[in-house]
Amino acid sequence: MKIDQTIPDRSVEVKRTTKETEISLRLSVEGGEQIIDTPIPFFNHMLTSLAFHGGMGLRLKARGDVDVDPHHLVEDTGIILGDAIARVIQEYGPVRRFGFSVIPMDDALSEVAIDACGRPYLVYTADYPQGTCGEFDVSLVREFLLGLANTARINIHASCRYGYNSHHMVESLFKATGRALKEALTPAERGKTLSTKGSL
């Protein structure tokens, strides 16, 4: 008898509504289209890069009080994406846990290491030469990653080693995050939990 070893379509849908933001998304870890709709064009570009290079399908629509400050929308998008990743792990079983990627983009080089271990932590280092990319404040990258790490309950160590152009630095960081997530979220061999403790 032939055993079907195909990977199921690990998909989840999540919505989050607060007084500051309203966000909905559908995440398909095994792939699909990237359809990103927020009022922040540079952020749309970064989320598309993360999902595309992570081999993920991502449909996301976000609205919020960007007239006050884009901070709420960027942070809450990290939170809802993290929630979706946590649900993928919870609903579809153990994953390989560790992911690592180093991505260059012209003058910039970024590395991201991830441990999908159930314990949130963020270490983030980047020294941007320009404070904005278009109208996007690069300080918001940390807020996105922090929201992602906390709600996905994963370790993220993200570093842009160097670069002369902030756009290239942020983009290489988002691409590396996507690639590291793809590796970390790959189903564990034979469904085993990868921990000496027997559980994460």
Residue 137 pLDDT > 90: yes
Q: Which of 187, 182, 178, 172 minimizes the C-alpha distance to 51?
A: 178
Interhelix angle 71-92/140-152, rounded to 10 degrees, is 30
The angle subtended at Cα 125 by Cα 172 and Cα 180, nearest 5°, is: 45
What is the reported pLDDT for 189?
78
The pLDDT-based confidence of 193 (bands split at 50, 70, 90) is: low
What is the reported pLDDT for 4?
46
Tell me if 42 sits within 8 A of 166, measured CB to CB: no
Tell me if 174 sits within 8 A of 50, measured CB to CB: yes
What is the reported pLDDT for 184?
97
Residue 178 pLDDT > 60: yes
Q: Domains plus CATH for the chain?
A: 11-191 (3.30.230.40)
Q: In whole angstroms, give the CA distance from residue 121 to residue 111.
A: 16
At 17-43, the pLDDT tens digits run: 999 999 999 999 999 999 999 999 999
Q: Average pLDDT, stretch 55-81?
A: 97
